[in-house]
Amino acid sequence: MANWQQNEQLADITADLSRFSDALQRFTARLGLEIAGLDADHISLRCHQNTTAERWRRGLEQCGTLLSENMINGRPICLFKLAEPVCVAHWRFHIVELPWPGEKRYPHEGWEHIEIVLPGDPATLNARALALLADDGLSQPGIVVKTSSPKGEHERLPNPTLAVTDGSVTVKFHPWSMNKSSPASKPIRNSVKPRGVCRVKSCHAAKVVWIRERGMAVLEVCCYSVACAREAERCGADRIELCAAPQEGGLTPSYGVLVSAREAITLPVHPIVRPRGGDFCYTEEEFAAMLNDIRMVRDLGFPGLVTGVLDADGQVDIPRMKKIMAAAGPLAVTFHRAFDLCADPRQAWKTLGTLGVKRILTSGQQSSAEKGISLITELIAAGILQSLWPVRESAPRTCRCFCRRG
């Protein structure tokens, strides 16, 4: 296999390695962390765009072997074993972690963190890791310590994890090496597969949406109550779109419902912001209310929202969408099925990607996603952002159709 540093698809991360190495050396010195005697088993990348992740994947496949591909914390993560190592400090990393973009934006694209193995009882991991760090290092401005437990089917990544970061580079600690996965971890090869349809029995108004994220079927359920969202979570959904007024096709939920959802649901919940039914051309008063609702959703701590505005000509209303993106701040914005009313869907797709919209919800401007599959696959091939499609009662057949089309 080719050396990864000579692969054109990976030229940017080859160039970024020296920056990461220098930043890691400075960071560990600030922390008072003596790395010479520590074992680290893999190194991880971060990116903002799906197109970047796709390109890196192609390059890594040419230089190594795909060990696993799973949904972890709601996004695809690949692990590759390279023929030639990534050399940082005294470590020679053969395993590289490649996550697809999640709900937050990172300060740079390239190498982001290493993972140090501290064998022992997981219950004492935090204490053992923190004992390696100087007290004055942790108290410096900009140093953040956090813990996490990655969640996903066939979880292979080490679990639990303690991370220390300064925003540009991160050091993580975990109790199990990649070669000795945690007891809850099951290695899986090339696990790109759709799951069965989520049966949300108590949600008569719910609709199921499959999302294509790096070839994997992510299950989003549109729910019209907190009880429905709770049932969707129990039945295996990956994400919730929370709405009110199913008879109107989904309107902004009330403040009380949003607060209840934040308290009751552990999955990512993306509320819709839509002031009324009908078209997507709004008065000044309606749009002002939308901006206030977006700020409310943001301030309540939701990771994303669903919305959309068009102008009188059936085009994306760019000035208003810019205001929406500014009000949303770090939230992941999905452009809803107003997209299917756009006069020029291809231009709208490019416009939304340029504006920073994360996803669109579309049935390919047809009555069903299956009928609109040609446009959907064309848009997905163009990259820029992710595409979602509603499948409703024909889910199994539609999902098979989309899986065949990639």
81 and 159 belong to one structural domain: yes
Among residues 152, 174, 196, the one where a domain terminates is 174
Query: How confident is the model over 75-101, as a mean pLDDT?
Result: 92
Q: Please report the pLDDT score of residue 150 as a whole number.
A: 57
Cβ partners under 8 Å of residue 349, min gap 6: 339, 360, 379, 382, 384, 385
Residue 179 falls inside a structural domain: no
Residue 186 falls inside a structural domain: no
141 and 38 belong to one structural domain: yes
243 and 367 belong to one structural domain: yes
Cα 84 off chain centre by: 29
Question: Do residues 110 and 20 lie in contact, with contact meaning Cβ atoms separated by under 8 Å?
Answer: yes
Query: How confident is the model over 105-111, as a mean pLDDT?
Result: 77
Residue 388 falls inside a structural domain: no
368 and 316 belong to one structural domain: yes
Q: What is the extent of the structural domain holding 304?
A: 207-382
pLDDT tens per residue across span 118-140: 998 888 888 899 899 987 878 78
> What total of structural domains would you count in the chain?
2
Question: Do residues 29 and 88 lie in contact, with contact meaning Cβ atoms separated by under 8 Å?
Answer: no
Residue 27 falls inside a structural domain: yes
170 and 245 belong to one structural domain: no
Query: How confident is the model over 66-94, as a mean pLDDT?
Result: 88
Q: Please report the pLDDT score of residue 183 as a whole number.
A: 43
Q: Please report the pLDDT score of residue 100 as a whole number.
A: 84
Residue 305 falls inside a structural domain: yes
Among residues 131, 156, 174, the one where a domain terminates is 174
Q: Please report the pLDDT score of residue 187 as a whole number.
A: 38
Query: How confident is the model over 385-406, as a mean pLDDT?
Result: 51
Cα 290 off chain centre by: 25
Task: Give the CA radius of gyration of the chain.
Answer: 22
Residue 390 falls inside a structural domain: no
154 and 281 belong to one structural domain: no
170 and 214 belong to one structural domain: no
Residue 29 pLDDT grade (very low, low, confident, very high; cuts 50, 70, 90): very high
Q: Please report the pLDDT score of residue 370 as a whole number.
A: 73
Cα 151 off chain centre by: 13
CATH code, domain with 18: 3.10.180.10
Query: How confident is the model over 56-66, as a mean pLDDT?
Result: 94
Strands (E), 109-229: 110-117, 144-148, 161-165, 170-174, 207-213, 216-223
pLDDT tens per residue across span 185-216: 443 333 333 333 444 544 544 555 545 454 45
pLDDT tens per residue across span 290-330: 999 999 999 999 999 999 999 999 999 999 999 999 999 99
234-238, 357-361, 381-385: segment of lowest average pLDDT: 381-385
106 and 245 belong to one structural domain: no
223 and 163 belong to one structural domain: no
Residue 307 falls inside a structural domain: yes
d(CA 91, CA 341): 54
CA dihedral angle for residue 155, residue 158, residue 160, residue 162, rounded to 10 degrees: -140
Residue 394 falls inside a structural domain: no
CATH code, domain with 225: 3.20.20.380
170 and 211 belong to one structural domain: no
28 and 84 belong to one structural domain: yes
231 and 167 belong to one structural domain: no
Looking at residue 201, what DSSP letter applies? T
134-148, 303-317, 379-393: segment of lowest average pLDDT: 379-393
Q: Please report the pLDDT score of residue 394 as a whole number.
A: 42
Q: Please report the pLDDT score of residue 398 as a whole number.
A: 52
Residue 46 pLDDT grade (very low, low, confident, very high; cuts 50, 70, 90): very high
47-56, 124-133, 366-375: segment of lowest average pLDDT: 366-375
